[in-house]
Amino acid sequence: MDQNTFKEPTISPASDRSIMVQFNAEISEYIHQQVHFYSTLLLENHDDKISNLSPAYNSILIRLKEGISLWRTIAKLKQLFSENHEIKVADKTRIKIPVCYEGEFAPDLARVASHTGLSIEQIIHKHTTGKYLIYFLGFSPGFPYVGGMDPNLETSRLESPRTIVPAGSVAIGGKQTGIYPIQSPGGWNIIGRTPLTLFNWNQAKTPALPMGAAIEFYPITKEEFHDNQESLF
Amino acid sequence: MTVIKQGFQDLVQDLGRDGYTHIGISPTGAADKVSMKIANLFLGNHINDAVLEITLFGGTYLFDMPTTICLSGSHFPAKIRGDEVPFNKPTTIQKGDILSIGGSISGARCYLAVQDGFNVADLLGSSSTHLMSKSGGFRGRNLQKEDQLAYNKSEKRYFPIDRKFPIDYNRSIIRATPGLQHSLFDKPTQELFFSKEYTVSHQSNRMGIRIHGPKIQKRTSEDMITEGLPLGAVQVTGNGDSIITFVDHQTTGGYPKIANVIAADMHKVGQLRPGDMFTFELMTMDKAETLYLAQEQILK
C-alpha cells in the first residue's frame, strides 16, 4: 500500500469516559504528522465535547466532558475520520538547545560511557549531531517525547529512579533522549543540563518545546551555562 | 482559616484543571469528586467551588470569620467547642470557632467545604493543587501549621438540608470495563484478575493506587507503544503488580491496561486506604455509561 494513502484509524472506547484513536502501530514521522494534524483539529473545533486530549506516537486519547455521550461521540469521530482530509504539514519550528555536558550537570555520563563503550567525547558528539523531533508532550508538564537519537547511545534506565531530577536536565532512557522541563522524579541517565527555562505556567498553552518541533543540542561550557540562564519565553 | 495543627495531607482541590493533558499537565482535582460535590451542594455552592481535601487524619483549624461549613465523604471525628460536627449537613461557624478533625474511621478522605469556597490564586482555570510541580492550590502544597486559607465573608442563605444523595460507597467491589490492552492477557488471566481479591499497598498516592494480588502476566514479552492514560486505567507493571491510574496521573504511559475502573466508581478509588481489600467486577461499557449518567443526575 502506498504510504501516503490515508488509512483510517481504529476508534474504540478506552473507558466509559474516554475514546482511543489508534493509527498504525509504528513510530514514524508520517504517523506523527497525522496524530499532530488531528489532535490540533480536535482541540480547536471540538472543545465543547472534549475535556482533555493526549496525543502520543501513534494515538490520540480523547477524554469526554461531563454529560457527553460516549457512543454518539465515537460515531461522530468515525464520520470525521472517514471524510477525506488533506493532512497539512506545517513548517517545523526549529529550536537549538545549549547543553552543558560537564561535572555535576552530567552525573550519569560515565555510566552511559561504560554501557555504550563510547568515550565521553564520542557521546557528546553523537548527541549534538542528532536531529530530533518532538513527537508529543506527556508524563509531566511540558515534557517532550523526543525521537531521533543515535541507536549507539541506547542505555538502560537507572535501576532505581531519582526522586529529584533538576529542571533542564538532559537525559537518555533506553532508546530515547529527553529533557526535564520541571524538577520531577525520573529514572533516565542524566548526561547534561540546559540553562534555558523550558516550562512556564503562565504560558502553558504555548510550551517552549512544542509537539512537532525539530530540536538540536549544542555543547556549552560551565561558564557559558552561567551566562546563558535565560528563558525561552 | 488558620491552621493550628497540620493534618496528614490537607489539599485545596476542585473538580480539576481540564484542557492541558496534551501539554503533559494532569487534571488533578478532588480524589472523591462525589463527596466533594455533595459538600458543596449542601451549602448551595457551585459544585466546582474549592474545598479542602483531608486524607487519613485531619488537623485543627481556627475560623477567622463567620461562615457555614459542610463535611462530606468518609467519616472522620470532627468537633467544635466539644460538640460533634455532623456530616452532610450545614454547620454555622462563628468567628473564633476551632474545628478539630481526627483520624478516619472509614475510608481515606473527607471534604471540608465553606460557603462560596476557599479562595486561592487561579492557575489555568482551576484552584486544584498540582503536587508534582508544586503549583496551584495553596502554594502548590498541603496546608501546614500557621497557614491562612482565605474564604469570603458570606451572606445569610437558605440551605437545602433535606437533600438525599443515594450514592454507593461500598469500596469492597470496584467495577471495571475491559482495558485497552485486555486482549494482551489470555482468558484464564482475565478471569483470575476479575475473581481474586486485591490489597491496597502503602505505596499508593494521588498519582496511582498500587495493588497487590495474584501475579498477572501478559501473553507476549513485546512492549507496547506509549499512549494516553485514561483515569482509572488498571496498568499491569512488569513485576505483576497493578496500578490504578489516579487523579494526579502521568498523562501518558507504556504499561498494558487490563481493565478500567468505571467513572461511577472512581469516588470509591478515592476512598481506598492502604490495607483495604476489594475485588474487581467486570462490567460492559453500556452499563458503565448508564451508571455514570445516572450519578451525574443525582449530583446536580
A116: Cβ contacts below 8 Å, ≥ 6 apart? A123, A152, A153, A154, A155
Confidence of residue B161 (pLDDT cuts 50, 70, 90): low
Structural domains present in chain B? 2-151 (no CATH), 173-298 (2.40.100.10)
Query: How many CB contacts within 8 angstroms connect chain A with chain B?
Result: 138
Chain B within 8 Å of A213 (Cβ-Cβ)? Answer: no
ipTM value = 0.95
pTM of the model: 0.93
- Asked if A38 is an interface residue toward chain B (Cβ–Cβ < 8 A), one would say no
CB contact under 8 A, B135 and A201: yes
pLDDT of B215 reads: 86
Task: Evaluate if residue A6 carries a pLDDT over 90.
Answer: no
| Cα A216 from Cα A94, distance rounded (Å) | 8
Average pLDDT over residues A211-228: 92
B122–A contact, CB cutoff 8 A: no
B227 → chain A, closest CA residue: A56
For B264-280, how does the pLDDT look when each residue is reduced to its tens digit (9 = 90+)?
A: 999 999 999 999 999 99
A19-40 pLDDT, tens digit each: 999 999 999 999 999 999 999 9
- Measured CA to CA in angstroms, residue B189 lies from B32, B201, B291 at distances of 30, 21, 27
Give contacts of A56 with chain B, Cβ < 8 Å: 225-228, 252
B232, closest residue in chain A (CA to CA):
A15
Residue A228 has pLDDT above 90, yes or no: no
Residue B254 pLDDT: 86
Residue B133: which of A12, A39, A141 has the nearest Cβ?
Answer: A141
Q: How far is A119 from chain B (nearest CA, A)?
A: 30
Predicted local distance difference test score (pLDDT) of residue A2: 43
Cβ separation B225–A25 shorter than 8 A = yes
| B43-62 pLDDT tens trace | 999 999 999 999 999 999 99
pLDDT exceeds 90 at position B100: yes
pLDDT digit string, tens, across residues B4-21? 999 999 999 999 999 999
Instruction: Report how far residue B259's alpha carbon sits from residue B181's, in angstroms, rounded to the nearest whole number.
Output: 8
* Mutate: best of A52, A58, A184, partner B, most B CBs <10 A: A52
Q: Does B225 touch chain A (CB under 8 A)?
A: yes
**Nearest by Cα to B200 from B277, B269, B130:** B277
Residue range A74-99: mean pLDDT, rounded: 89
Share of chain A above pLDDT 70, in %: 95
> Residue A137 pairs with which residues in a beta bridge?
A144
Question: B289 at the A interface (CB within 8 A)?
Answer: yes
**Partner-chain contact B263 A16, CB within 8 Å:** yes
Say if the Cβ atoms of A56 and B252 lie within 8 Å: yes
What is the chain B residue with the closest CA to A140?
Answer: B24
Tens of pLDDT along A174-213? 888 999 999 988 889 999 999 999 999 989 999 999 999 9
- Strand positions, DSSP E, A30-126: 50-55, 59-64, 94-100
Check CB contact under 8 Å for A61 and B20.
no
B25 neighbors B123 (Cβ within 8 angstroms)? no
Q: What is the mean pLDDT of chain B?
A: 94
Return the higher-pLDDT residue of A17 and B218: A17
Q: Which three cell numbers stand for residue B205?
A: 498516592
The percentage of residues in chain B with a pLDDT greater than 70, rounded to a whole number, is 99
The distance from CA A202 to its chain's CA centroid, rounded to whole angstroms, is 20
B105: closest CA of chain A, how far (Å): 31
Q: Which chain B positions have a beta carbon within 8 Å of A54's beta carbon?
A: 21-22, 227-229, 251-252
In degrees, rounded to 5, the angle at the alpha carbon of residue B164 between the alpha carbons of residues B152 and B66 is 20
pLDDT, mean of residues A96-123: 96
Residue A87 forms contact with B (CB below 8 Å):
no
Strands, E assignment, A16-160: 18-22, 50-55, 59-64, 94-100, 132-137, 144-147
- Mean pLDDT, residues B77-90: 96
Smallest CA–CA distance from B260 into chain A, residue: A15
Domains with residue ranges and CATH for chain A: 10-82 (3.30.1360.40), 94-227 (2.40.100.10)
pLDDT given for residue A231 in this prediction: 59
Q: Determine contact, residues A208/A93, Cβ cutoff 8 Å.
A: no
The minimum CA-CA distance between A113 and chain B, rounded to whole Å, is 26
pLDDT of B218 higher than 90: no
User: Which DSSP category does A185 fall into?
Assistant: E
Q: Scanning every residue of chain A, which has its alpha carbon at the shortest distance from the alpha carbon of B27?
A: A52
Residues of B in contact with A25 (CB under 8 A): 225
Band (B82; pLDDT cuts 50, 70, 90): very high
**Cβ–Cβ of A207/B23 closer than 8 Å?**
yes
Is A120's Cβ below 8 Å from some Cβ in B? Answer: no
Q: With the C-alpha atoms ordered B201, B203, B208, B213, is the resulting torsion angle positive or negative?
A: negative
Instruction: Evaluate if residue B189 carries a pLDDT over 60.
Output: yes
For the ranges B35-49, B88-102, B216-230, which has the lowest average pLDDT? B216-230
Give kind and range of the element (H or E) at residue A76: helix A70-82
Per-residue confidence at A230, pLDDT binned at 50, 70, 90?
low
